Amino acid sequence: MQLRALAHRLDCAVLAIAERNRASMKTGGVSAGAGTRKIEYGAETVLDLSVPEDAIEDACGEKSVKLRFSKNRNGAAGSSVDLAFHGALQRFTEQ
């Protein structure tokens, strides 16, 4: 994978962002990335963001979001972190 070669050459992490494919819009998961499975197979870590269906913005403009480790070659997969997302500021904070 060319992104892995680039990361190795630059000695840095590469963050690839993909939208969910139609079949996985609600469920997410490691194979939910639209367009290609190369990210799924080549990635060290796959993170999945999901918003509960009943989530509403609070008085501060933040909405509950769950960050799940769908794949983690260097630790436990399946772990999750509850976050608050502020759309206007494009900011995540831990709840």
CA-atom Rg of the chain in angstroms: 15
**Average confidence score pLDDT of the chain:** 80
pLDDT tens sequence across 38-67 = 677 777 888 888 888 888 899 989 999 999
Dihedral sign from CA coordinates of 87, 17, 92, 68: positive
Tell me what the mean pLDDT of segment 54-81 comes to: 88
pLDDT of amino acid 28: 57
**pLDDT tier for residue 90 given thresholds of 50, 70 and 90:** very high
C-beta of residue 35 within 8 angstroms of C-beta of residue 18: yes
Q: Is the pLDDT of residue 32 over 60?
A: no
Q: Which helix (H) or strand (E) holds 40?
A: helix 38-42
Give the number of residues written for the chain: 95
Which comes out higher in pLDDT, residue 33 or 88? 88
Tell me the β-bridge partners of 84: 64, 93
What are the C-alpha distances in Å from 27 to residues 20, 33, 60, 62? 9, 11, 28, 22
Which comes out higher in pLDDT, residue 54 or 34? 54
Cα separation, 89 vs 62, in Å, equals: 10
Q: Is the pLDDT of residue 4 over 70?
A: yes
